[in-house]
Structure 1
Amino acid sequence: MKLKQTIIYLITASLIFTSCGKKEAAPESKTEQTAKAKDHEEAAPTIASLTEDQIQSVGVTTGPIEMKELTATVKANGLLRVPNNNKATVAALFSGVVKTLNILEGDYVRKGQVIATITNPEYIRVQEQYLTTISRIAFAEQEFKRQNELYKNDAGTKKNLQSSSSELRTLSTQKASLARQLQMMGINPASVTNASMRTGLAITAPISGTISNIRAQIGSYVDVSAPVAEIIDNTSLHLDLQVFEKDLPRMRIGQIVHFKLTNNPETEYDAKVYSIGSSFENESKTIAVHCTVIGNKTGLIDGMNITGVVSLDHSTTPAIPTEAIVEADGKFYVFIQTDKKPEAHEEAESKDKKETAPAEKSHARTVNFEKVEVIKGTSDMGYTAITPVGQLAPDAKIVVKGAFFVNAKLTNVGEHEH
């Protein structure tokens, strides 16, 4: 009986000991798993390595961190305009038939440049009248002198003297009028002779600019009401912003406007407010804010639609193109070009190099990009303000295009390791 009780006691004690051992072992197993998970997270790669061929094929582009005015702004749509005093309609002051046309649409012409010539028999008649008037003046002067002498010697009448004087003044007036007409034709009156009368006139550009429209052709009849061409000076482009009534009190002369073309949002241009309208534009309930385009004007043409942002103050913030930012696990990152090497692969690469045949010594040149966490700020006009979580050099080269591909490359490396 005692032997039986002793056996039961030993079995019970061994079960209790085994159960306690299992309870103590469980926390150790969880701790080991947590440590392994932590090591796994710390080992996640942050540097992606791309070959030059990959960079070129995908279009990975780097750029600096820019300073942008993304806070305290007013958005507005607008239109590019050239003031009327920088537009010109080229017309002939005297009617005629087009003989030569020396321009094409899109050509740049300078003020005074000959763009066409026209002919008309009337031009010869004007020169003929001018030469005839000069001859008559010479005779009238002699007649006036003769009548004056006769009158002094009581051999002539005062009436004849007054008549000759009047004739001389009339002819002098005609000469001045004809000389002015010749000058308007582009003919120097002093050069007009019986042997040098011109049959054609030159039409010159009244301003410097680009030929926007040609209305005439060789053989067509032109006059003041039928112009030859139109010239526009795009260097004097203005920007008319349509600002809503609620934003008008915030507008000031001298404010800077950043704008982009509606059909080309890649390029940004600048303008400066020089005048604020005082009446509503039609039924749109907007007021025109007039701005002068400053800096680069390449690709800008009269009549283009734009989207602009008016900077209400001069405060700027670090910003990069919005597409340069990638999101992962609820956080935001950018990639910067670095000289660091991917640590996770150094040992594997050195091992592979030893096993690789000597004939495979040449490797494609690679560029490394490091993943850096940032905090996103205000976004506008394709740019987003950023604040680096850690330190970021002011001259850092940010991946502004192709960041998605670089991130995908890094993600594939991480999955390969696990």
Structure 2
Amino acid sequence: MKNYNKKNMKKYAAIVLMGILIQAMTSCSTKSDIKGTKEEAVVQELKNKTIELTKLQFESSKMSLGKKELKDFHEVVKATGMFDVPPENRVSVSSYYSGTVKEIKLLPGERVKKGQLLFTLENPEFVQLQQDFLEAKGQLIYLQSDFERQKNLSQDNVSSQKTFLKSESDYMVTKVRMQSLSKKLALMNINANLLTLDNIRSTIIVNSPISGYVTQVDISKGAFLNTSQTAINIVNTDELHLELKIFEKDLLKVKLGQAIKFRIQEDKSNSYDASVHLVNKTIDTKDRTVGIHGHLEGTNMSNKFNPGMYVEAEIYATSSQKLALPEDALVEIDGKYFALVLSNSSNKGYTFVKKEIKVGATNDGFVEVLNAMDFDENTQFLTKGAFNLITE
């Protein structure tokens, strides 16, 4: 009985020992597999983040390298508006006197100079006005002589005071009438000092009050022009400026002298410079906007733009310098931004590592890098060509 129990115990111990060995072997195998899987995952992750390029690939794709750099970033106030000119640079030409249009040779868009003849009017009444002036002028010579004579006689008590006062009155009335007629002739562009019986005419000329461009012609040859009727519109674009509107909520951000970048609808690829010159003190109660007057900066602006052209503008309210990368250096994937950082370069090519970039504000083709401290000042980024490499 004892021998039997000893045999059974030996068998049991052998079975337990075998189980422990099997468990140990299984455990070692599992740990080894897990370790192997993790190592493979790390290698695969590094492989996904690392990109190698030959020099030929780099150059043929016209790629380029660059570093993070300080760029000006602005708090921008959006504005819309148009080009305009000061009121004194926009005129509606009419005539102080009515008449029939005898001559006009202007077309819209034509440039005119100040004092240039625009058109001529004809009216028989012009002749009568010149006749009245010459008659008054002739009478004044006699009346002045009579007045001076009566004045001397009155002082010597030879002539009565009544006669003297009558001559004085006639002289003064005629003198006032002649001066009044002289002013009227001046409004007709007739020089009263040069007017004689030989140069009385039935036509008058209307000259341009400013230099500029003809924008509208409302008369034609043979038409009758009334005194209250506009004949021609002229605009001088030498003092072209911006008339913009901003929302009431942005009013406190805008100050005199702030920079303005604006674009026109016809060419949004180019931007132009201006500055805030005036801020309106009243608010439009309908759309809650405020008017901004901007002065253009640069030469020949009046030759590029026309009054009334629509513009979209950005007013740079505040400015600060921030470390940034070009927009082309960043690629967005699932809401995150990545860039390729140069880790190694040799005669054969380049090695890049994909790194996540925390982005901030954008301005003029550059993006603020919020985690700029993660990269030293000598770190080089692939600034051109990253998109195709990261998204492949």
Give TM class, smaller chain: 0.5 to 0.7
Q: How many residues align?
A: 338
Deviations 1:101-128 (A, max 9, x none): 2322112222222222222222221211
Structure 1 CA distance for aligned equivalents of residues 70 and 191 of structure 2:
59
Aligned with 2:172: secondary structure? helix
Matches within 5 A, 1:75-90: 75-90=78-93
Task: Let me know the Cα RMSD of the aligned residues.
Answer: 4.7
Change over 3 Å in CA distance of 1:87–1:96 after alignment to 2? same
Alpha-carbon shift at residue 134 of structure 1 (Å): 1.4
Paired amino acid for 1:278: K
**Equivalent in 16, 23, 47 of residue 58 of structure 2:** 47
Instruction: Give the AA of the match of 1:250.
Output: K
Query: What is residue 311 of structure 1 aligned with on the other side?
Result: 316
TM-score (norm 1): 0.64
Matched, 1:234 2:237: yes
User: Which secondary structure state, in structure 1, belongs to the residue aligned with residue 74 of structure 2?
Assistant: coil
What are the superposed Cα offsets for residues 183-207 of structure 1, whole Å, 9 maximum, x if unpaired? Answer: 2211211211111123322212212
What are the superposed Cα offsets for residues 367-398 of structure 1, whole Å, 9 maximum, x if unpaired? xxxxxx99976335x63347798999xxxxxx
Q: 1:378 maps to what in 2?
A: 361
SS of residue matched to 2:197: coil
Matched to 1:44, the amino acid is L
Corresponding residue for residue 18 of structure 2: none
Instruction: Name the residue aligned to 2:8.
Output: none
- Select 1:214's aligned residue among 205, 214, 217: 217
Quote the Cα distance in structure 2 between the aligned partners of 1:235 and 1:319: 40
Helix, strand or coil at the partner of 1:227 = coil
Aligned to 2:16: none
User: Kindly tell me: are residues 151 and 308 of structure 1, through their superposed partners in 2, closer, same or farther at Cα, counting changes over 3 Å?
Assistant: closer
Give matches, 1:18-417, under 5 Å.
Answer: 43-45=52-54, 46-49=57-60, 70-148=73-151, 151=154, 156-296=159-299, 297-298=301-302, 299-315=304-320, 327=331, 378-380=361-363, 383-385=365-367
Task: Give, in whole Å, the separation in 1 of the partners of 2:137 and 2:87.
Answer: 42
Aligned partners of 2:71 and 2:202: how far apart in 1?
62
Q: Which runs of 5+ in 1 are unaligned?
A: 1-22, 52-65, 335-341, 345-372, 393-398
* Aligned-residue offset at 1:292: 2.2
CA positional deviation for 1:294: 2.6
Distance 1:198 1:246, change over 3 A: same
For the structure 1 residues 309 and 101, does the alpha-carbon distance in structure 2 shift closer, same or farther, using more than 3 Å as the test?
A: same
Q: Distance in 2 between matches of 1:374 and 1:219?
A: 75
Greater share of strand residues, 1 or 2?
2
* Structure 1: distance between partners of 2:234 and 2:86: 12
Give the letter aligned to residue 53 of structure 2.
A
CA 1:374–1:126 in 2, change beyond 3 Å: closer, same or farther?
farther
TM-superposed deviation, 1:167: 1.0
Alpha-carbon distance in 1 for matches of 2:312, 2:287: 16
Change in Cα spacing, 1:390 to 1:209, as seen in structure 2 (3 Å) is farther
CA contact under 8 A between 2:109 and 2:214: conserved in structure 1? yes
Instruction: Identify the residue that residue 337 of structure 1 maps to in structure 2.
Output: none
| Native 8 Å contact 1:208 1:233 kept in 2 | yes
Residues 69 and 311 in structure 1, CA contact (< 8 A), matched pair in contact too: no
The one-letter amino acid paired with 1:378 is: A
Distance 1:152-1:377 versus aligned 2 partners, 3 A rule: closer
Counterparts of 1:321 and 1:267 in 2: how far apart (Å)?
18
8 A contact 1:319–1:386 mirrored in 2: yes
Equivalent position amino acid for 1:310 in 2: I
In the superposition, relative to structure 1, how do residues 107 and 376 fare at CA in structure 2: closer, same or farther (>3 Å)? Answer: farther
- Distance in 1, matches of 2:71 and 2:265, equals 20
Aligned to 2:25: none
2:120 and 2:376 map into 1 onto residues whose CA distance is 71
Given that 1:102 and 1:114 are in contact with CA atoms closer than 8 Å, whether structure 2 keeps it comes out as no
SS at match of 1:177: helix
2:219 & 2:211 partners in 1: Cα distance? 19
